[in-house]
Structure 1
Amino acid sequence: MGAVVPGAVAPSAGLAATPDTETVAGSTVSAPRIVEVYPNPARADDRGEYVRLRVPAGNWTLSDGESTVSVSADPGYLVVTGAPDALPNGTEGSVVAAPLSLANGGERLTLHEGTANGRRVDSVEYGSAPEGEPWLRGTDPPWRPVGYHPRDPASVGTANATAFVLPDAPGPPAATLRGADRRILLAGYTFESERATEELLAAERRGVRVRVLVDDAPVGGITDRQARLLDRLVAAGVEVHALGGPVARFRYHHAKYAVVDDTALVLTENWKPAGTGGADSRGWGVRLDSRAAADELASVFEHDAGWRDARPWDEYRTGRSFTAAAPADETYAQQFGPANVRVRNAIVLTAPGNAETGVVRVVDAATERVDVVQPTVEDGPMLTATRRAAERGVEVRILLSSAWYVREENEALAGRLNGWADRAGLPLEARLADPAGRYGKIHAKGVVADDVAVVGSLNWNPTSARENREVAVALRGPEVATYYREVFEADWRAGSDAVPRSLLLVGVGVAAATVLYARRRIEFA
């Protein structure tokens, strides 16, 4: 038997790959398959574990090598479980109540035609199972939290838009909330904005339905300021939920957006003074006057706020203490005001699911320039796409934060990237930003690739792309791309003209070494 990758499920060694369909008496029918395995529910004694089968009509036997379950079935999906009353909501298929004890540490499951001695038609083998996550056949990644359903990228067509950046233009987020007549769905990682609170309360008073969704455990904890503001909202009748806990579908609810009537507001920044308040971070934002975009984000909100890991705020906050924190209070001159632009097509991207692939496609399609701004970047498909772009002659620039908490790792990253580009003679350059008094730190997460700009909460790291809830929009059009590129150009020029040097130590035996320096070096203001 081949080696089992921990946490993965694969066809067992010695069994030919089972086709999705097979031909019986001249007709094409679905082949019998084990399509889902849920070994490790977030319940006592693993109540609710199950195996989901897709079978033609007939008699079938499921075995884990120690015990067997035999069923007689009509064509369709079967859910085999020892605790039908504990199955997660939305589990599809005819339920078969039968003794079942799946190993959390991993085992092999086989499906036989007829009895356990009959023809083996399918088999899967899994390693250590994450708590609260079933495995789904044919998905990437295969383990997904119960209650999470990935989305396809949503193309929402043309739209008039307002492009803006922070801290220069803190007006659009508040003004968008102020214009609500029917609905406000506000999603955030954190919420500490007095200005947004006042706008939400005013909207509630004039009959707008207002709902707020935040993460229940942001890094550093929920502040006493956030708790106080959310308490005010709940007291006024606003529906507030905190998403997370032991059955959480996402590591963090990191998205930052709002649906206001038929308008979609997508941000890189948090709802707090340092973000949307314009008191610190360089951020990007866009307001799309698009019913299709608003409805797509409303659907995301309903999916995220409508399950059991989204707890009412007053229930969540009972008995909890919160972190003391002072809000940012700096002021900055406006260099870039908001701009009304035409978007030829907008695509709503979400993570987990399609955002990482969406960004890769944008970068892979570029033929002239790719500009990336991120707090920091980790190795992965998005960074690899920028390397591919440089290899085909596209000019690539990557602007990173110089904030104290990422400065050292960003120095090293820029050094590696620039050293690679120097050695290969490729048009890629990485640089650490110098705010130069125009903002506090880089917090934007954006890409401009030819005439497409991507704006949203997606960080370029595996956790953000594959475990967090993130929202971004890819905006096609020369006007919108030009706006963000001009901001990028100004931030790039203010950064260090020189770039990190790379140091390579090559050992020869145990006594000799050669030190090679790249032709660039680090300088900071």
Structure 2
Amino acid sequence: MYPDPVAGGDDGEFVVLDVPDRTDIGQYAITDGDSTAGVPNTTARGQVVFSTAPNRTRKLTDRPVVGLDGHFALANGGERVRLQRANQTVDAVRYTDAVEGELGVVNGSVIRWRPLGATDRPVVRAAGGEVRAFALPDAPAAPLRPIRNASDRVYLAGYTLSSARVADALIAAQRRGATVRVLLEGEPVGSRTATEARTLDRLTDAGVSVRVLTGSRARYRYHHAKYAVADEQAVVLTENWKPAGTGGNSSRGWGVITAQPRVVDGLNQTFRTDAGWQDSERWQEYRQGRQFEQGEPATGSYPSEYRTASVSVRRTDLLVTPDNAQGVLVETIDGADESIDVIQPTVGSWDSPLLRALRRAASRGVEVRLLLSDAWYVREENSQTAQRFQEWAERNDAPLTAAVANPDGRYEKIHAKGAVIDDERVVVGSLNWNEQAATENREVVLVLHGSDAADYFGAVFDADWEAGGFDTPVGVLAALLGVLVVAGLAARRLVFER
């Protein structure tokens, strides 16, 4: 039910019924005990929306809308709503304290509130095959290759986009006749840069559709996902579409290119759903009257130690937040038997579900390594986090080590968000391991099942760990444990392609 629309007088509130196929619904009525509205004579099936203001409600939902006869209003403070047939109660739901702009979804006896229009997507699982793995800043051509080859469609989703190289590739695809659409966050932290504004102006001038998620109807705190669908391929990565990220001028990042149909279709559906809601605004309209900040360009140059590699996978899982990712990742960590290597720019609170899962794993003897960024804006925080993990490990005699990275000239800072688990599973995507990102942002994550993928990303992790694994105050015992973990995971099988 939707009791509290973002509208004067709660205009457009509605109730959703799940109707068996071809049911004559005219014999039903909806009541709160004070007022009752009858359902008109018609047949319906599936999820059907009922409202006393159907014209207004049709602007809020894509489901079929049926107008109710009579007066009926949902109280924002909560009440018991009943579905009746011949004055007999067929079903009933009680809710309390409706949240403005959010839909109350019935789950047994519990009401779960989520922003109107937010998705509730299941995990997408794709059969095995070959995918291409890459690391940044080493392989900046990799994430652009599918876009440069596209002739039918390119749907690019991101947090920010300021790369001239990416813009060039998108405009070239548009000129080849492909449908090119871009979807970005409307209010990135620190505001949007003037360079990005000029880039987006250039795209729209070339006929590319650019939209941003923003406004009072926004379903997600941040649209932080980083992926692209290009014809029948998809790119999922940890980096922003800017020189510091996909340009290879700064950050350590991970990425995957896949042609697995279920993953490509799942990302296509996610993009279309996210771009098609009322919080999606055209860039030309959004930018009117706004001022943009000058940003510092990323101009670093780094060696290419890791080429793109074709790796086989037994299965790939596509996860999205806030719909399903955190629960699946916690289950994956809880199922680990031998080792977990995690790389993150920074992590969330000590008691967040993912960090609790890491400590549970270490408590049962799983070797855990956590590598954090040494970027100036998180260095002190990450040093304190690493120290806290080290102290916990020593108190509990647990095989967990945490460190702040030392890039050693191979990249500027860590921006990768991933994990290698039991040398058999790899997590790659946009999700920072904190509760807000997992429960309020739109994020996209792949879980690759297979030792080949684990070998590739494990080798990148090992090199980054060995260069910076002990660059933070640690106990002697914890350091020795880290050395043993490195030694035990050193052998990696890689097949690179030029």
TM exceeding 0.5: yes
Unaligned runs of 5+ in 2: 480-498
What are the residue-to-residue correspondences of 1:240-319 with 2, within 5 Å?
A: 240-319=210-289
C-alpha spacing 1:380/1:95, structure 2 compared with 1 (3 Å): farther
Residue of structure 2 aligned with 1:380, choices 339, 352, 361: 352
**Offset at 1:457?**
0.4
1:47–1:86 contact (8 Å) kept in structure 2: yes
Specify the SS of the correspondent of 2:128. Answer: strand
1:78–1:96 contact (8 Å) kept in structure 2: no
Matched, 1:235 2:208: no
C-alpha spacing 1:100/1:166, structure 2 compared with 1 (3 Å): same
**Offset at 1:520?**
6.5
Residue of structure 2 aligned with 1:490, choices 463, 469, 490: 463
**Offset at 1:53?**
4.8
**Offset at 1:165?**
0.8
TM-score relative to the length of structure 2: 0.86
What is the one-letter code of the residue matched to 2:6?
A
Matched, 1:410 2:379: no
Tell me what 1:16 maps to.
none
1:498–1:520 contact (8 Å) kept in structure 2: no
Once the two structures are overlaid, the 10-residue window that deviates more, 271-280 or 390-399, is 390-399
Matched, 1:212 2:194: no
Tell me what 1:69 maps to.
36
What are the residue-to-residue correspondences of 1:146-185 with 2, within 5 Å?
A: 146-185=116-155
Distance in 1, Cα, partners of 2:189 & 2:69 = 42
Distance in 2, Cα, partners of 1:222 & 1:49 = 35
Tell me what 2:442 maps to.
469
What is the one-letter code of the residue matched to 2:80?
L
Matched, 1:437 2:401: no
Task: Write 1 or 2 for the structure with the bigger share of helix.
Answer: 2
Q: 1:109-168: per-residue Cα shift (whole Å, max 9, x none)?
A: 24275799x7796341312x3331111011898111112221111112123222111111
Matched, 1:347 2:314: no
C-alpha spacing 1:498/1:331, structure 2 compared with 1 (3 Å): closer
**Offset at 1:494?**
1.6
Q: Which has the higher Rg, Structure 1 or Structure 2?
A: 1
Matched, 1:136 2:109: no
**Offset at 1:189?**
0.5
Distance in 1, Cα, partners of 2:472 & 2:147 = 42
Matched, 1:51 2:22: no
2:406–2:471 contact (8 Å) kept in structure 1: no
1:422–1:518 contact (8 Å) kept in structure 2: no
What is the one-letter code of the residue matched to 1:321?
Q
Tell me what 1:401 maps to.
373
Pairwise CA RMSD of aligned residues?
2.6
Matched, 1:108 2:79: yes
Distance in 2, Cα, partners of 1:94 & 1:60 = 12
1:80–1:97 contact (8 Å) kept in structure 2: no
Specify the SS of the correspondent of 1:213. Answer: strand
Q: 1:12-49: per-residue Cα shift (whole Å, max 9, x none)?
A: xxxxxxxxxxxxxxxxxxxxxxxx2x222122332112
Residue of structure 2 aligned with 1:449, choices 412, 421, 432: 421
Q: 1:299-326: per-residue Cα shift (whole Å, max 9, x none)?
A: 1111111222112221222222222213
Tell me what 1:392 maps to.
364
What are the residue-to-residue correspondences of 1:82-121 with 2, within 5 Å?
A: 82-87=52-57, 88-92=60-64, 94-104=66-76, 106-111=77-82
**Offset at 1:477?**
1.3
Distance in 2, Cα, partners of 1:98 & 1:78 = 18
Matched, 1:419 2:391: yes
Distance in 1, Cα, partners of 2:55 & 2:118 = 20
C-alpha spacing 1:401/1:68, structure 2 compared with 1 (3 Å): same
2:367–2:399 contact (8 Å) kept in structure 1: yes
Unaligned runs of 5+ in 1: 1-35, 502-516
2:40–2:68 contact (8 Å) kept in structure 1: no
The percentage of aligned residue pairs carrying the same residue is: 45
Distance in 2, Cα, partners of 1:297 & 1:112 = 37
C-alpha spacing 1:207/1:498, structure 2 compared with 1 (3 Å): closer
Specify the SS of the correspondent of 1:198. Answer: helix
Tell me what 2:4 maps to.
40
2:51–2:66 contact (8 Å) kept in structure 1: no
Specify the SS of the correspondent of 1:134. Answer: strand
TM-score relative to the length of structure 1: 0.82
What is the one-letter code of the residue matched to 1:62?
T
Tell me what 2:291 maps to.
321
Tell me what 1:32 maps to.
none
Once the two structures are overlaid, the 10-residue window that deviates more, 414-423 or 461-470, is 414-423
**Offset at 1:280?**
0.9
1:193–1:277 contact (8 Å) kept in structure 2: yes
**Offset at 1:80?**
5.0
What is the one-letter code of the residue matched to 1:477?
G
Distance in 1, Cα, partners of 2:384 & 2:296 = 32
**Offset at 1:272?**
0.2
**Offset at 1:290?**
2.6
Distance in 2, Cα, partners of 1:281 & 1:158 = 30
Distance in 1, Cα, partners of 2:449 & 2:232 = 20
C-alpha spacing 1:93/1:198, structure 2 compared with 1 (3 Å): closer
